[in-house]
Amino acid sequence: MDSSRLNIHLLSDIQSSPTPFHAVSVMSRLLLEQGFKRLQEQDDWGKLDGHYFVTRNASSIIAFQTTPEDIENNGIHLAGAHTDSPCLKVKPNPVINKQGYVQLGVEVYGGALLNPWFDRDLSLAGRVTFRNKDGAIQSVLIDFQRSVAVIPSLAIHLDPNANQKRSINAQTDIVPVLLQQDKDEKKDFHLILQDQIQAQHGNISVDKVLDYELSLYDAQAPSVIGLHEDFISGARLDNLLSCFIGLRAFLDADTGPASLLVCNDHEEVGSISSSGAQGPFLRSVLQRLAGPGEQLSRLIDRSMMVSCDNAHGIHPNYSHRHDSNHGPMLNKGPVIKINANQRYASNSETGAYFRQLCEETNVPVQDFVMRNDMRCGSTIGPITAAEIGVKTVDVGIPQLAMHSIRETCGSRDTFYLYRVLRHYFSTVC
Ligand code: CO
């Protein structure tokens, strides 16, 4: 796969993935197309020999390929990323009638940068759970795709100090407008969802919508931008970029050691959930791969994890927010993230190993350390390392505007990350 084809795939995969549910669905389809077999956690997996994947909550996914000899003699090359991104989620009783507008009450998911949500074309997607005509409870994914809502700014004439002092109240200021209506009748949101299910999944019979998890998202497609096409701009680059580049590298790797890709939901809210990195999903899969007794501990000690999550690239207008020796630049390769207080899991051995992988694939590599006078973020790396006990390095390609509704990264870094991960999956520990 060359660089421009990789980016074309990446943009289309991200656009098809407005929510973690959709991301897992797209990844599942790509795996099935490559001959991977879908496992269910409730089944007996028997002897595992080949290519498999398993999902949990339809929002986290683990894909792996292995042979019994691999498990016996070698370790597993693991890589991880997260499927979720900060966004606005629709509340259970969302409909608000105000000044002739119908608005949707939303809850902020994760550490969203709220300013950029104003005046964007917003669409709506997620999982809807309903009772079908046979009385069974069933879930489907929906995606309106077109722009169905907007959060209008307040004009500067009505707030003359807006450019100096405007702050955002997440309860009252970011309530999206869905439509206008003359009479003050309450719209039935469940019926709107029922119509959408019918429009998208015509053959499904819905008796009653019972519940949902829906997010608003930027309807503008991701794109390659810049006079010389240096950048990729799009929603959810943190961290669908790592999920999809990780998956392509995993699928395109030469037959090497056993390899595994895990993409967890709920990283943006701390990872504590049944499908999050601090839940038991990965351990449970590794346990089933390793077999009984001390096998799991032995397997983990022979294995390694590359945790991929985007890093903060240095911003030309705010370069003082970086340590002067640790300002990763876009298009200068993946970044190794280091934190003395273990907010990142990298250590000298895992870092050195990743540097060597980069050297072997001619990929430049950079370092990130947070300034001492600023709080350092974290990611799934240290959480997975603490849960499983696996040696881990935290890496990621640099980006600007993290957690904005649209983020920017380097158009050449995607191929760097792909090359080094493909090499990692192809190389014996
Ligand atoms: Co992230």
The mean pLDDT value for 387-404 works out to 96
Separation of CA 186 and ligand 1 centre (Å)? 38
With beta carbons less than 8 A apart as the criterion, state whether 88 and 126 touch: no
Separation of CA 207 and ligand 1 centre (Å)? 38
Predicted confidence (pLDDT) at residue 153 exceeds the cutoff of 90: yes
Same domain for 164 and 22: no
Residue 229 lies inside a defined structural domain of this protein: no
Among 154, 183, 218, the domain-final residue is 218
The confidence score (pLDDT) of residue 69 equals 82
Same domain for 262 and 138: no
Averaged confidence pLDDT in the chain: 95
Separation of CA 360 and ligand 1 centre (Å)? 27
Residue 226 lies inside a defined structural domain of this protein: no
Separation of CA 403 and ligand 1 centre (Å)? 8
Separation of CA 8 and ligand 1 centre (Å)? 22
Segments forming the whole domain that contains residue 137: 87-218
Separation of CA 49 and ligand 1 centre (Å)? 32
Q: Which residue has the higher pLDDT, 271 or 73?
A: 271
Separation of CA 238 and ligand 1 centre (Å)? 5
Residue 301 lies inside a defined structural domain of this protein: yes
The confidence score (pLDDT) of residue 68 equals 79
Residue 212: give its domain's CATH number: 2.30.250.10
Separation of CA 65 and ligand 1 centre (Å)? 25
Separation of CA 307 and ligand 1 centre (Å)? 10
Same domain for 337 and 208: no
Task: Name the domain count of the chain.
Answer: 2
Separation of CA 159 and ligand 1 centre (Å)? 34
Same domain for 289 and 251: yes
Same domain for 319 and 265: yes
> Of the candidates 322, 296, 298, 325, which has an alpha carbon nearest to the alpha carbon of residue 311?
322
Residue 227 lies inside a defined structural domain of this protein: no
Residue 275 lies inside a defined structural domain of this protein: yes
Q: Is the pTM of this model over 0.95?
A: yes
Predicted confidence (pLDDT) per residue in 254-310, tens digit: 877 899 999 999 999 999 999 999 999 999 999 999 988 899 999 999 999 999 999
Separation of CA 87 and ligand 1 centre (Å)? 13
Predicted confidence (pLDDT) per residue in 90-140, tens digit: 999 999 999 999 999 999 999 999 999 999 999 999 999 999 999 999 999
Same domain for 13 and 74: yes
Q: Tell me the chain's radius of gyration from C-alpha atoms.
A: 22
Same domain for 343 and 295: yes
Residue 223 lies inside a defined structural domain of this protein: no
Same domain for 251 and 213: no
Same domain for 380 and 249: yes
Same domain for 102 and 77: no
Residue 270 lies inside a defined structural domain of this protein: yes
Separation of CA 86 and ligand 1 centre (Å)? 9
Predicted confidence (pLDDT) per residue in 308-320, tens digit: 999 999 999 999 9
pLDDT > 90 in the chain, percent: 90
Same domain for 205 and 245: no
Separation of CA 378 and ligand 1 centre (Å)? 8
Same domain for 165 and 126: yes
Residue 321: give its domain's CATH number: 3.40.630.10
Residue 228 lies inside a defined structural domain of this protein: no
Separation of CA 379 and ligand 1 centre (Å)? 6
